[in-house]
Chain A
Amino acid sequence: KAGVTQTPRYLIKTRGQQVTLSCSPISGHRSVSWYQQTPGQGLQFLFEYFSETQRNKGNFPGRFSGRQFSNSRSEMNVSTLELGDSALYLCASSLGTIVGGAHEQYFGPGTRLTVT
Chain B
Amino acid sequence: AQTVTQSQPEMSVQEAETVTLSCTYDTSESDYYLFWYKQPPSRQMILVIRQEAYKQQNATENRFSVNFQKAAKSFSLKISDSQLGDAAMYFCAYRSPYLQGGSEKLVFGKGTKLTVNP
Interface, chain A (partner B; CB < 8 A): 3, 31, 33, 35, 42-45, 48, 50, 55-56, 58, 88, 90, 92, 94, 96-100, 102-110
**Majority DSSP secondary structure for residues of A touching B:** strand
**Chain B residues, Cβ within 8 Å of A109:** 42-44
**Chain A residues, Cβ within 8 Å of B100:** 55-56
Contact among A42, A56, A92 for B103, CB-based, below 8 A: A56
**Chain A residues, Cβ within 8 Å of B104:** 31, 33, 48, 94, 96, 102-103, 105
Given A55-B102, A98-B102: A42 in contact with B44 (beta carbons within 8 A):
no
Least Cβ distance of B8 to chain A in Å? 14
Minimal Cβ-Cβ distance residue in B for A55: B101
Given A102-B95, A110-B43: A42 in contact with B102 (beta carbons within 8 A):
no
Given A33-B104, A42-B109, A45-B106: A56 in contact with B99 (beta carbons within 8 A):
yes
Q: Are B52 and A102 in contact (CB under 8 A)?
A: yes
Least Cβ distance of A27 to chain B in Å? 18
**Assembly CA distance A31 to B102 (angstroms):** 10
Least Cβ distance of A65 to chain B in Å? 17
27 contacts between A and B (CB under 8 A): A33-B105, A35-B108, A42-B110, A43-B91, A43-B106, A45-B105, A45-B107, A48-B103, A55-B100, A55-B103, A56-B99, A56-B105, A92-B45, A92-B106, A96-B104, A98-B101, A99-B102, A100-B97, A102-B33, A102-B50, A102-B95, A102-B97, A104-B50, A105-B47, A105-B104, A106-B47, A107-B46
**Chain B residues, Cβ within 8 Å of A48:** 103-105
**Chain A residues, Cβ within 8 Å of B47:** 104-106
Q: Are A108 and B105 in contact (CB under 8 A)?
A: no
**Chain B residues, Cβ within 8 Å of A102:** 33, 50, 52, 95, 97, 104
**Assembly CA distance A107 to B48 (angstroms):** 13
Least Cβ distance of A80 to chain B in Å? 26
**Assembly CA distance A100 to B102 (angstroms):** 7
